[in-house]
A and B are shown apart, each in its own frame.
Chain A
Amino acid sequence: MKCKHCIERLSEYYDNQLNSKEQQQIEAHLGTCTYCQEEWRKWKFILEEVHHLEEVPVPENLHERMLAGVKKEQSKELIDKNHKTFTKYWYNRSWIKVTGSVAAVFILVITLSQQGGFFRKESKTESGVEPLTVAPYEAQSMITESVGPQTRMAIPEEQNIPEAASAANHADTQANQKREGTIKQDNQAVVEQWVVTNKDQKSLLETLQTYSIEQGFTLFMEQEDVGTEGIYLTGVNDKQALKTFLEERGAEVQITVQEAGKDLKLFLQTGQ
């Protein structure tokens, strides 16, 4: 065996990676060659010293320091989760999904005022209008899709808010897997706001409701303050298209608060 060949194999020899034949060859050569013996000695010396580099001065608080960032991240995740739960709860508490005409909204107001704000479950009336019932909260999953022009109200079932929260959270957890999102640092439910000025609010609202069904986003009208024309939209994938849609129908759209995300609040006002 030549020295060059031997030295090339020293690394594998050191790690017992050679087959027995090669190993014997190396050992035989090392037995007779002083140059390679010296090389081998240096190899061993160096690598034994390198082994000792495992003994590092480990900081006493290594665990806490490594954990600090993780705990901070966990807090952020929990806040975001609670923020979304709260937002959905708040929306669902105060808003009713309107899938029919505006008339349904007024009927609702009358029904509620007659009931004095107390909700109880009732069956459908002949007109097809279902009075609002039950608890002040409803789960996201209960909001039904609208079918046709028939006036309907979503009937909330009795559910505890934790269930609602967990139902909402399940989807959120999936989304949060990517740990993305526009988490507001101050945890406020900040939403993009538009002021929509037009001549015929009733007509515009009807068109908007139809559009919402076509586009697959949800429209909520404020229950307590009907008349302020505050409308919440959620799940708007293409805000620009919506803006164009409104403008094409003669409305003037002014973006008063700009935010990322698929939620919007519209203020309808009458104007020329």
Chain B
Amino acid sequence: MEEARERMLIEKVKSGDMEAFEELLFHYEKPIYTICLRLLKDEEEAMDAAQEVALKLWKQLHLFKYKSKLSTWIYRLTTNQCLDQLRKWKHKKDISLFQQDTHKKEEWIFEKPDEEISIEKQIEQKELQAILQQALMELKEDYRTILVLRDIQHYAYEEIAEVLNITLGTVKSRLSRARGALKKVLEQNKEPYQSFFRLKR
């Protein structure tokens, strides 16, 4: 969305224009939901978080003063919402997606189904994703967040620095450690990780 249009929509939302808000929401809802799902793993929790983010966006947009990009502001809202939810439920043990929710794997439908890929391949892909998601959940929240923002959402280092309110140097070092940690998790000699490197696209 071009900046001028976005600015116009923001001003309209500030004066209570729901139609303008809906247009903004269309633009950001998928990345918001994606971040929530990857940070929280559970679809229901992710939806709860996404709904909270939408509500906060509506209620707090009047505080937005164009000091950063709107996207940065929204993603900061999103990551903070997820981190808040995670901290609330920290006493709960992480449910293993692989071990306990195996039926959920079948519900994961890729958006770009490639008919040329065999069924076997498709299952392999789903397994890879499931394993990766579980590995992500084993990481501490700071690492998981920065991986989601960089390697899933592809945000620039500068934007990540703004979203997380850290320096560029911290982004680089934290990302490096997060990726290293993810690799360590995936290299563990236990299921489901043992099969990770064998499964290939």
- By a beta-carbon cutoff of 8 Å, the part of chain A in contact with chain B is 8, 10-12, 15, 17, 42-43, 45-59, 62-63, 65-71, 73-74, 77, 177, 179
Contact = CB atoms under 8 A, between A and B. Distances in A.
Contacts, number: 117
A11 B51 CA distance: 34
- Decide if the interface of chain B is mainly helix, strand, loop or mixed: helix
Interface stretch (B66-74, B82-90, B91-99, B149-157): B149-157
B58 A43 contact: no
Contacts of B47: 59, 62, 65
A73 B109 contact: no
A42 B29 contact: no
Given A56-B34, A66-B25, A42 B55 contact: no
B59 A179 contact: yes
A8 to B, nearest CB: 7
B136 to A, nearest CB: 8
Chain B interface residue number, banded: 35 or more
Given A43-B183, A55-B112, A73-B58, 9 more contacts: A11-B176, A15-B175, A51-B151, A53-B38, A58-B33, A58-B34, A62-B50, A66-B25, A179-B59
22 contacts: A17-B157, A43-B183, A46-B186, A49-B129, A50-B132, A52-B129, A53-B132, A53-B136, A56-B33, A57-B43, A62-B29, A62-B50, A65-B47, A66-B53, A66-B54, A68-B51, A69-B51, A69-B52, A69-B55, A70-B21, A70-B57, A73-B55
A70 B55 contact: yes
Given A8-B176, A63-B29, A69-B51, A56 B37 contact: yes
B129 A46 contact: no
Contacts of B109: 57
A43 B16 CA distance: 47
B172 interface: yes
A106 B55 CA distance: 53
B99 to A, nearest CB: 19
Contacts of A66: 25, 29, 32-33, 50-51, 53-54
B101 to A, nearest CB: 14
A74 B153 contact: no
Interface of B: 16, 18, 21-22, 25-26, 29-30, 32-34, 37-38, 43, 47, 50-55, 57-59, 62, 107-112, 125, 128-129, 132-133, 136, 147, 150-154, 157, 172, 175-176, 179-180, 182-183, 186-187, 197, 201
Nearest to B179: A11
A45 B176 contact: no
- Decide if the interface of chain A is mainly helix, strand, loop or mixed: helix
Contact of A54 (B54, B58, B153): B153
Contacts of B186: 46
Contacts of A69: 51-52, 54-55
Given A12-B172, A54-B153, A71 B18 contact: yes
Given A12-B172, A70-B58, A50 B152 contact: yes
B179 A67 contact: no
Given A53-B129, A66-B29, A42 B183 contact: yes
B31 to A, nearest CB: 9
Nearest to A177: B62
A52 B133 CA distance: 11
A156 B129 CA distance: 71
Contacts of A57: 43, 107-109, 111
